[in-house]
Amino acid sequence: MARIILFAFTLIILSGCIVINDVEINDDVRSPKTTPIQTIAQYVEDFNKMDLNALNDSSGSPFFWLMGDDRDIYDHYEDSVDFEGLKRKGWSYSKINSLELVYEDDRTAIVYMSFSRYNVSDEIILTANVNYLLVNNSNQWKVKGGFAPNKVTTGKD
């Protein structure tokens, strides 16, 4: 008799677990469609295209650079870069050497990027490392700023 009662009790408990067909599983509604790594990869593509509109759209405002002892804050990403100045210094395009997700939660992420800048002859003119801070803004990762141990020219100097 005890086995029948235990069996019936188990069936009642399990029946509550089994009826999940009508339950809508709601993934984290704050989860962006792209990952922080994908966001930085797209950022480099937009940088190479010198697409200031796309760079502004993919970055947070204000935008900051902390490089070496320099600390600069800009209203928009476009205020932080001068492509003509970069070209005068020999820049033609940039290439990612490696990307690594350092940290991620539902609101922030840090991505480490090693990259090289090349001239028109495909020669490396600079290799640098930057940690980017990203924020989840309206379900989209936005590049909020970058940290580098040394000054990396943005063409404005």
Query: Could you list the pLDDT tens digit for every one of the 157 residues in the chain?
Result: 544 443 343 334 434 443 434 433 444 545 789 999 999 999 999 999 999 999 999 999 999 999 999 999 999 999 999 999 999 999 999 999 999 999 999 999 999 999 999 999 999 999 999 999 999 998 999 999 999 999 999 998 8
State pTM to two decimals.
0.79
**DSSP per-residue letters across the chain:** -HHHHHHHHHHHHHHHHH--TTPPP---TT--SS-HHHHHHHHHHHHHTT-HHHHHHTEEEEEEEEETTEEEEESSGGGG--HHHHHHTT--EEEEEEEEEEEE-SSEEEEEEEEEEE-TTS-EEEEEEEEEEEEEETTEEEEEEEEESS----S--
Domain for residue 5, yes or no? no
Domain for residue 24, yes or no? no
What is the model's pLDDT at position 30?
58
Domain for residue 2, yes or no? no
The CATH number of whichever domain residue 48 belongs to comes to: 3.10.450.50
Domain for residue 23, yes or no? no
Full residue range of the structural domain in which residue 90 is found: 33-148
Domain for residue 140, yes or no? yes
What is the model's pLDDT at position 31?
75
Domain for residue 91, yes or no? yes
What is the model's pLDDT at position 19?
41
Give the total number of structural domains in the chain.
1
Domain for residue 154, yes or no? no
Domain for residue 73, yes or no? yes
